[in-house]
């Protein structure tokens, strides 16, 4: 089966969507599909007329297309035109568009099918547009070496520095427990939103925590693994999150996790009890949870044990790819 996989060219940092797309393409290939990844440049999610024309041309002639929702959801006419010529166009919607409700609704209606990375994101999409048949293909997790931890405890927050990711709230919470021993690292792109990255850095300086909180920028390879190797706890306070792949990445290293209630990160954490989901909207303070964890060795050990247990049961990317291939009407070769 030939699949043309169309991804946005204007997201250049290591986003969860980019990582999902790359891993899905890799494992679709491993299961026997012929995957052609096409990077579509443009000012997405809507793009200029020229951007949408390039998208239409890339759609033309593709028997089966998976198009990232960041590109496809703002181009309903192009989706409808390709479908009318016999192209099967599946929209991979990582997260519903914050704006452009009507464009997204038309694009989804014109598509052959819709894929979401979590039940949470599927429910959001269904609530916005009344969509019924959405395929949920949850992200996989790659095995990671078990964290050795640190003394004092080391806390990591892995996400590009965006307002939605709430790193300033993490800095504030850490400032409230600076009487206790710990170190922390904010690991993620500083270029995705330079103004917000500067705000986060200013917050670290305001609370005089430069010696305890490192703002590392985006890390890869050995430098990134070193952060997991040292980590005792991971935290993700995004206001919205389709799934939160860093949650399963954290569990893959045996590192427990604090997430925000009402986001897809809760689904990623599941019933592992390897951390906590905070209802920040009703006053569940991250600083209180951090203080409780930092001063309670029994809680630290329980969360750690639960993370190590969860690590053994994480879904692989082969399952994600098999789910997608099944939706597209093709059994993976390994299942034939």
User: d(Cα 1, Cα 16) in Å, to the nearest integer?
Assistant: 26
Q: Distance from first CA to last CA of the chain, Å, rounded?
A: 14
Q: What mean pLDDT is predicted for residues 177-186?
A: 98
Q: Kindly state whether residue 254 falls inside one of the protein's structural domains.
A: yes
Residue 332 in this model has a pLDDT that exceeds 50:
no
Confidence band, pLDDT 50/70/90 cuts, at residue 178: very high
**Identity of the highest mean pLDDT range in 59-68, 135-144, 195-204:** 195-204
- Least Cα distance to 97 among 66, 118, 128 occurs for 128
- Contact (Cβ atoms closer than 8 angstroms) between residue 242 and residue 116: yes
Specify whether 307 is located in the same domain as 320: no
Residue 336 in this model has a pLDDT that exceeds 70:
no
Confidence band, pLDDT 50/70/90 cuts, at residue 60: confident
Q: Report the b/e string of 225-243 with b at 16+ CB within 10 A.
A: eebbbbbbbbbbbbebbbb
- Contact (Cβ atoms closer than 8 angstroms) between residue 101 and residue 128: yes
Q: Kindly state whether residue 164 falls inside one of the protein's structural domains.
A: yes
Render 264-302 in DSSP notation, one character per residue: HHHHHHTT--SEEEE-GGGT--HHHHHHHHHT-HHHHHH
Residue 11 in this model has a pLDDT that exceeds 70:
no
User: d(Cα 159, Cα 185) in Å, to the nearest integer?
Assistant: 11
Confidence band, pLDDT 50/70/90 cuts, at residue 188: very high
Residue 231 in this model has a pLDDT that exceeds 80:
yes
Q: Kindly state whether residue 17 falls inside one of the protein's structural domains.
A: yes
Q: Kindly state whether residue 295 falls inside one of the protein's structural domains.
A: yes
Specify whether 109 is located in the same domain as 234: no
User: d(Cα 188, Cα 190) in Å, to the nearest integer?
Assistant: 6
Specify whether 74 is located in the same domain as 8: yes
Sheet strand arrangement including 88-92: 34-40, 2-8, 64-68, 88-92, 113-116, 134-136
Specify whether 229 is located in the same domain as 304: yes
Specify whether 177 is located in the same domain as 257: yes
User: d(Cα 81, Cα 61) in Å, to the nearest integer?
Assistant: 11
The β-bridge partners of 88 are: 64
Specify whether 67 is located in the same domain as 158: no
pLDDT attached to residue 42: 79
Rg over alpha carbons for the chain, rounded to the nearest Å, is 21
Peptide bond into 7 cis (omega under 30): no
Look at the alpha carbons of 273, 278, 283, 286 in this order and tell me if their dihedral is positive or negative: positive
Count how many domains the chain has: 2
pLDDT attached to residue 333: 42
Q: Kindly state whether residue 199 falls inside one of the protein's structural domains.
A: yes
Distances, alpha carbon 258 to alpha carbons 152, 156, 245, 280, 307, in Å: 18, 10, 13, 12, 12
- Compare 226 and 95 and report the one with higher pLDDT: 226
pLDDT attached to residue 74: 84
Q: Kindly state whether residue 148 falls inside one of the protein's structural domains.
A: no
Contacts of 18 (CB under 8 A, 6+ apart): 7, 11
Specify whether 195 is located in the same domain as 329: no
CATH of the domain at 42: 3.40.50.2000
* Residues 72-114: tens digit of each pLDDT: 988 899 999 999 898 999 999 998 888 888 989 999 999 999 9
Specify whether 288 is located in the same domain as 331: no
- Contact (Cβ atoms closer than 8 angstroms) between residue 253 and residue 228: yes
* Residues 243-301: tens digit of each pLDDT: 999 999 999 999 999 999 999 999 999 999 999 999 987 878 999 999 999 999 999 99
Max distance between CA atoms of the chain, in angstroms, equals: 65
Specify whether 133 is located in the same domain as 254: no
Specify whether 216 is located in the same domain as 286: yes
Residue 32: count of CB within 10 angstroms of its CB: 16
- Least Cα distance to 182 among 151, 158, 206, 156 occurs for 151
Q: Kindly state whether residue 78 falls inside one of the protein's structural domains.
A: yes
- Domain residues for the domain of 267 are 154-311
User: d(Cα 166, Cα 126) in Å, to the nearest integer?
Assistant: 26
Phi, psi of 90 (to 5 degrees): -100, 130
Specify whether 134 is located in the same domain as 192: no
Q: Kindly state whether residue 328 falls inside one of the protein's structural domains.
A: yes
What's the mean pLDDT when you consider all of the chain?
A: 91
Phi, psi of 154 (to 5 degrees): -115, 130
Specify whether 238 is located in the same domain as 91: no
pLDDT attached to residue 334: 39
């Amino acid at each position: 089966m030939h699949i043309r996989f169309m991804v946005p060219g204007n997201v250049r940092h290591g986003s969860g969507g980019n990582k999902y797309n790359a891993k899905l393409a890799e494992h679709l290939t491993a299961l026997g599909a012929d995957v052609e990844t096409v990077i579509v440049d443009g000012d997405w999610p809507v793009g200029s007329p020229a951007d949408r024309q390039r998208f239409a041309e890339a759609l033309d002639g593709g028997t089966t297309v998976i198009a990232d929702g960041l590109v496809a959801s703002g181009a309903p006419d192009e989706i409808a035109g390709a479908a009318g010529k016999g192209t099967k166009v599946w929209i991979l919607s990582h997260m519903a568009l914050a704006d452009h409700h009507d464009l997204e609704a038309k694009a989804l209606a014109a598509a052959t099918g819709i894929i979401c990375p979590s039940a949470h994101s599927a429910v959001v999409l269904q609530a916005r547009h009344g969509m019924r048949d959405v395929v949920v293909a949850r992200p996989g997790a790659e095995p990671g070496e078990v964290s050795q931890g640190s003394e004092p405890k080391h806390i990591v927050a892995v996400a590009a520095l965006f307002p939605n990711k709430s790193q300033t709230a993490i800095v504030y919470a850490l400032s409230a427990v600076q009487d206790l021993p710990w170190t922390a690292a904010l690991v993620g792109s500083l270029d995705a939103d330079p103004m917000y990255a500067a705000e986060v850095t200013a917050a670290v300086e305001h609370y005089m925590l430069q010696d305890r909180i490192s703002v590392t920028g985006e890390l890869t390879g050995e430098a990134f693994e070193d952060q997991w190797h040292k980590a005792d706890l991971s935290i993700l306070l995004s206001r919205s999150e389709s799934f939160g792949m860093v949650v399963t990445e954290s569990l893959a290293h045996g590192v427990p996790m604090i997430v925000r209630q009402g986001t897809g990160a809760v689904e990623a954490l599941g019933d592992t009890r390897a951390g906590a989901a905070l209802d920040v909207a009703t006053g569940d303070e991250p600083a209180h949870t951090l203080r409780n964890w930092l001063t309670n060795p029994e809680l630290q050990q329980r969360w750690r044990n639960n993370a190590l247990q969860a690590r053994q049961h994480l879904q692989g990317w082969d399952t994600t790819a098999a789910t997608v291939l099944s939706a597209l009407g093709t059994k993976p070769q390994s299942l034939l």
